[in-house]
Amino acid sequence: MGISRPTVAQLRAFLALAEYLHFRDAAAALRMSQPALSGAVAALEEGLGTQLVERTTRKVLLTPAGERVARRAETVLAELDRLVEEVQAVRGMLVGPLRVGVIPTVAPYLLPVVLPRLAKEFPDLELSVHEEQTGHIVAELLAGRLDVVLLALPVPASGVTELPLYDEDFVLVAPAGFDLGATEVAREALNDLDVLLLNEGHCLRDQALDVCREVGARAAAATYATSLATLVQLVSGGLGVTLVPETALPVETRRAPNLGLHRFAAPAPFRRIGLAFRSTSPRADEFEALAASIRAAWAESGMAESGAAASGVAGPGAAPGIRPA
């Protein structure tokens, strides 16, 4: 029986299945239906004339042939992606498709400021945005399914180039009746408070925990939230306090009554937001231009006046933590 040449769509579907070993999860990662993914894998098996996966009731296992095809498919698709990137780099600055990953604690606050400027400055840019937690967008970036990501630095992976965009302070959000004394709160005040956190997987949770650990404070063990909006509502209900990035305050406190906002005394805890891309990408100059456009939009929005503007960023790779006095 003859062997037919696989299509790119078939290879992408199979490689996702090889990574997740689950049809539903692989389909979700590719943003396609499960029957479509299953059909693409079946067509690949038929074209190659061999079984690539062993389907069980709980998960998928790769056959020996499937393991070899997965390794080769990863190389083939990586080269195809690199070909596209090189062509786009020759075509011009930020022209054509650009796949951007953004973490949930940045997307709702930064994108409304940045997108109008990008549309005006780069009218031929075809932008697609994917909002996911840090671990997921970094994995997608390294796998070549995203071109660039916006997240809190440093990136928890190697082989990635970081471009700092701006710093923003954390603000202590507490129920309105809390008496915290001075206008600016010392970080040590966290020792006497129950700090509410986001669920596992959010980098903001880890950053808040780092601030707490530095002063020996505890986090409330029984209460977690899946979003900043829920977190702020829990504080409004009197369940504790939390740390909110400065850019999120106007949006997340608007619908939550009975809140008190307290700035930290210097040196205040902060996080650094940046842009990251694969260090092997030939589009480094484009991503530098993208970063410059985001910094300009940030500065023009007025948001930089209350935090640290991009020009004040010390350099790439700095960890979120305590801003020097």
269's CB contacts (< 8 A; 6+ apart) are: 169, 170, 187, 207, 211, 243, 320, 321, 322, 323
Report how many domains make up the chain.
2
Gap between the Cα atoms of 41 and 52, Å rounded: 8
Phi and psi of 259, rounded to 5°? Answer: -120, 150
Q: Is the alpha carbon torsion for 92, 95, 99, 104 positive or negative? A: positive
pLDDT of 120 reads: 93
pLDDT of 55 reads: 85
Q: Indicate whether 173 and 206 sit together in one domain.
A: yes
Domain that holds residue 185: 96-306
Q: Indicate whether 109 and 54 sit together in one domain.
A: no
Q: Indicate whether 80 and 227 sit together in one domain.
A: no
Q: Indicate whether 123 and 146 sit together in one domain.
A: yes
Q: Indicate whether 121 and 22 sit together in one domain.
A: no
* 3-class secondary-structure state, position 246: helix
Phi and psi of 299, rounded to 5°? Answer: -65, -40
CB atoms within 10 A of CB 204: 26
CATH number for the domain including 252?
A: 3.40.190.290
Gap between the Cα atoms of 98 and 126, Å rounded: 6
117 within a domain of the structure (yes/no): yes
Burial class (CB in 10 A: 0-12, 13-18, 19+), 108: middle
Strand locations in 103-175 (E): 125-131, 148-152, 160-175
320 within a domain of the structure (yes/no): no
Which amino acid is it at 279?
Answer: S
Domain C-terminal end among 53, 70, 88: 88
Q: Indicate whether 266 and 126 sit together in one domain.
A: yes
pLDDT of 179 reads: 75
Q: Indicate whether 78 and 135 sit together in one domain.
A: no
**Contact (CB, 8 A) for 251 and 108:** yes
322 within a domain of the structure (yes/no): no
* CA-to-CA separations, 302 to 130, 226, 269, 309, in angstroms, rounded: 26, 29, 21, 10
230's CB contacts (< 8 A; 6+ apart) are: none
318 within a domain of the structure (yes/no): no
Q: Indicate whether 50 and 104 sit together in one domain.
A: no
Query: For the chain, where are the alpha helices, taking DSSP H only?
Result: 8-20, 23-30, 34-48, 64-91, 107-121, 134-142, 203-214, 228-236, 249-252, 284-301
pLDDT of 169 reads: 93
Q: Which two tokens stand for residue 213?
A: 């650990």
2 within a domain of the structure (yes/no): no
Q: Indicate whether 69 and 27 sit together in one domain.
A: yes
pLDDT of 284 reads: 92
233 within a domain of the structure (yes/no): yes
Q: Indicate whether 63 and 103 sit together in one domain.
A: no
312 within a domain of the structure (yes/no): no
pLDDT of 189 reads: 84
Q: Indicate whether 201 and 128 sit together in one domain.
A: yes
Q: Give pTM, 2 decimals.
A: 0.71
Q: Indicate whether 182 and 41 sit together in one domain.
A: no
Closest to 186 measured CA to CA, from 219, 211, 218, 220: 211
Residue by residue, pLDDT tens for the chain (325 residues) are 568 889 999 999 999 999 889 998 899 888 899 999 999 999 999 999 999 999 877 789 999 999 999 999 988 988 888 887 777 666 667 888 899 999 999 999 999 999 999 999 999 899 999 999 999 999 999 988 899 999 999 998 999 999 999 999 999 999 987 777 667 888 888 888 888 888 877 788 888 888 877 777 766 665 678 888 999 999 999 888 899 999 999 899 888 888 988 999 888 899 999 999 999 898 899 999 999 999 999 998 877 655 433 323 333 333 444 443 3
131 within a domain of the structure (yes/no): yes
CATH number for the domain including 18?
A: 1.10.10.10
